[in-house]
């Protein structure tokens, strides 16, 4: 079973155009993400998937692996799936291989997060999809609709993802004992499951919440959720980028 990490990267981001190429202390963001991803012990290879020649050329310039995808991809998952489909057989992928969807705007990605996400596939071959979550420690995050929450069953499989404050509390008061978890948007899939996913129609709750992972649940595909202690900063705006710069300045390996 091979593990391939795919980083979807587009240029025309609505809130921060060209962020994949944004300079972070001398390196473009896509390079920061790539270099962290290849450090994961469980990942055999990492590929950037883009439809923009500027990003393609950038990845080539630091000797990274990159594949041009269709301009018709609507989401990062579509872009990842196009590479995973391996229509020309260049990657020699099997249905049982694992595809890791690595967000291209996570320059502080901790390589161990990928290992945590991949490990369940070795422990339980029946797993089709996995993702990560982190305990919410503030009421602000619990109430924030931009912080996606997930609740799991006793076996660690997702019951629901929502922008609402879940699990709810009959007193309407927040406390850490509620044990609400923030979903971290990294995914690993069995290749055949990912390819089936993109053939499915958008699901009812997926469209209400604006969360495509609900398509798996609504179609009866369980998602294993792994708790992680690592925190990241996703870059959606120039202000987020500055936060990343400040963190990296304090690190030894910036």
The CATH number linked to 174 is 3.90.550.10
242: in domain: no
Strand partners, 6: 47, 101
Q: In the predicted model, what is the mean pLDDT of the chain? A: 94
Whole-number pLDDT of residue 173: 82
Whole-number pLDDT of residue 42: 97
Q: Average pLDDT for residues 125-133, to the nearest whole number?
A: 97
Q: Rounded CA gap, 82 and 155, in Å? A: 32
17: in domain: yes
What domain range is 52 assigned to? 3-233
- In the chain, the number of structural domains is 1
122: in domain: yes
Q: Is the pLDDT confidence value at 211 over 70?
A: yes
Whole-prediction pTM value?
0.93
249: in domain: no
For residues 177 and 114, the model is more confident at 114
Where residue 161 falls among pLDDT bands split at 50, 70, 90?
very high
248: in domain: no
Whole-number pLDDT of residue 155: 97
Whole-number pLDDT of residue 199: 95
246: in domain: no
Q: Is the pLDDT confidence value at 11 over 70?
A: yes
The number of beta carbons lying within 10 Å of the beta carbon of residue 115 is 16
Q: Average pLDDT for residues 145-167, to the nearest whole number?
A: 96
Q: Average pLDDT for residues 108-124, to the nearest whole number?
A: 97
116: in domain: yes
Whole-number pLDDT of residue 250: 85
10: in domain: yes
């Amino acid at each position: 079973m091979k593990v391939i990490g795919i980083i979807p990267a587009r240029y025309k981001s609505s809130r921060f155009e060209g962020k994949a190429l944004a300079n972070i202390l001398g390196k473009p963001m896509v390079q920061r993400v790539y270099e962290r991803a290849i450090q994961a012990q469980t990942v055999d290879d990492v590929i950037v998937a883009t439809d923009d020649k500027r990003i393609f050329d950038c990845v080539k310039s630091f000797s990274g692996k990159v594949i041009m995808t269709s301009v018709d991809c609507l989401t990062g998952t579509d872009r990842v799936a196009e590479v995973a489909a391996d229509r020309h057989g260049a990657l020699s992928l099997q249905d049982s291989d694992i595809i890791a969807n690595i967000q291209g705007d996570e320059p502080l990605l901790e390589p161990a997060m990928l290992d945590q996400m991949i490990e369940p596939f070795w422990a339980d071959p029946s797993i089709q999809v996995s993702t990560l979550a982190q305990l919410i420690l503030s009421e602000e995050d619990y109430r924030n609709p931009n912080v996606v929450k997930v609740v799991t069953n006793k076996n660690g499989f997702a019951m629901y993802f929502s922008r609402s404050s879940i699990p709810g509390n009959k007193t309407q008061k927040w406390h850490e004992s509620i044990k609400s978890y923030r979903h971290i948007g990294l995914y690993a899939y069995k290749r055949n499951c990912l390819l089936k996913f993109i053939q499915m129609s958008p699901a009812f709750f997926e469209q209400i919440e604006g969360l495509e992972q609900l398509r798996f649940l609504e179609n009866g595909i369980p998602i294993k959720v792994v708790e992680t202690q690592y925190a990241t900063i996703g870059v959606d705006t120039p202000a987020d980028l500055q936060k990343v710069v400040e963190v990296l300045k304090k690190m030894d390996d910036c």
